[in-house]
Structures are given as structure tokens and as C-alpha cells.
Amino acid sequence: MSKILLNTRAVFALAALPCFAALSSCATDRTIGSAPEIELTKLEALPEPRNEIFYTIGPQEVLEIEVVGAENLSGEFLTNENGEIGFPLLGIIDLSEKSPSDAADLIADGLRGRYIIEPQVRVIPSEFPSPSISVGGQVRKPGSYSAIGRPTLLRVVNQAEGLAEYAKLDDVLVMRTVAGQKYIGVYNLGAIQRGNYDDPLLYPNDIVMVGDSPGARRLDNILQFAPILSSAVILLDRVGR
């Protein structure tokens, strides 16, 4: 299940605009998202990660696996294209998308009782990739950028060498997964640049997409159902996780 966060304070800079007409008529230009599985909820900010796992095992990775007291079961293992390894006594084990601690628990569970009474297993990747944020869309240099320190939306856009010619400043998306739940925040980068709103903090594995001014949005018309003076609008996607 995914949620979409639309913070109209940071996104549209429309607060304090009077609106005395009917809701649908006063919000005709606020075009963000319209799909049958999307509905409004009440959240005011994009959730911060809490003890999220920023590294998971993938294909073609070298892992140092140690089973304490069992040298014949310890050594280096290379995952295949599916993130699997062939492990002594246990055969093929799927470690794809698992954290090193989860992988160690999986191996220990397979050994426990049948081969070792209480196995202690450590899984250590040969290289931990640096935490990063992916930046795409209408920036001059799309790619992955460091998430070390306290990166913000403006900083990572600047790292991507700034906005491209057709960037749409009020259509900047930040995608984030927290506790298995997917969220999307929509921001007005121009208003943030002017200092009207705080520059939001970003976190490892966030994805930033800068919209294309002449292009159509993927998300259309949902805000016609939301009050124009609301400080934040959250959309709930009822499609399964």
C-alpha cells in the first residue's frame, strides 16, 4: 500500500488565497493525482524513517559468512543474478533484498537443531555501498548522490547541477518508503528557494523526481476535492503493498 503526501504549504504556496466559490471551481488549477484507488487522508508531513534498513543484499555480491566454531561452513560466497547462494548442508538460499542480519538469521535457522545446537552466524558484505539519494527528471545531471550528513531537497538538486530548462518548480516529487509503506511528497521548489518554506530533509533511498513543465503530470485532478486553504493533503493509495 502506498500513500501520497501533498504538503500544500511547501508545494503550492497557495495559503491565504481567499476562495468563496464552490470547492471544485476554486481548485481547478490544483491538478495532482486522480486514480480510483487514491483517497485523501490526514497527515501533515512526509514521515521520517525509523530504524529503516538502508542496505540489502543484491545480485553478484561477495559475502563473508562466518559460522562461529564451524570453519568448514565459513568462507566467501558470491550471490547469483537472483541474489541466491549455495550454502553447505542447506543448499540454495535466497538472500535477495535481505539485510545482513536477516541473512544471518536465515542461515542460523537452517542450521539450528539439525546440524548445530545454537549456531552463531555473521554475514558481512565485502563492500557496503554508500547511502545515496536518487535524483531524476528535469535536472541537469540525473543520478545517485550521497546521503551522508543532512541532505536536503535543495542540496541534492544542486548536487545534480541544478534544474534543467523545462523543470516544473511546483511539481517536485520525493518518494520514500517507511515501514513498508510508500509515500510521495509533492513540493514547490521555487517557494522553497525563495525561503517561503523550510527546505525538507532527505534520507537514504529517497527518490527525487523533478517534473517536466510542458509535459502532463502522471497524477491529475485529485486536489479539486481538497480545500484550497488546507495546510496539507495526504492521499492514500489502496492498492496492496
In this structure, the strands spanning 167-178 and 84-87 are: unpaired
What does the DSSP 8-state code read for residue 64?
E
Question: In this structure, is residue 114 part of a structural domain?
Answer: yes
Question: 227: domain CATH number?
Answer: 3.10.560.10
Residue ranges making up the domain that contains 117: 62-125
Looking at 110, 125, 140, the residue that finishes a domain is 125
pTM of the model: 0.62
What is the SS3 assignment for 178?
Answer: strand
Let me know whether 118 and 226 are in one domain. Answer: no
Per-residue confidence of the chain (241 residues) as pLDDT tens digits? Answer: 555 555 444 443 322 222 322 223 333 233 444 455 545 556 667 888 877 777 889 999 999 999 999 999 999 999 999 999 999 999 999 999 899 999 999 999 999 999 999 999 999 998 877 889 999 999 999 999 999 888 999 999 999 999 998 898 888 888 888 877 788 888 889 889 988 888 999 999 899 999 886 554 444 444 444 444 333 344 445 444 4
The CA–CA distances, whole Å, from 29 to 209, 223, 228 equal 21, 9, 10
pLDDT of residue 82: 94
Let me know whether 144 and 111 are in one domain. Answer: no
**How many structural domains is the chain composed of?**
2
Question: In this structure, is residue 206 part of a structural domain?
Answer: yes
Position of cell 563473508? 64
CA distance 147 to 144: 9
Question: 116: domain CATH number?
Answer: 3.30.1950.10
Torsion of CA 5, 151, 52, 77, to 10 degrees: 130
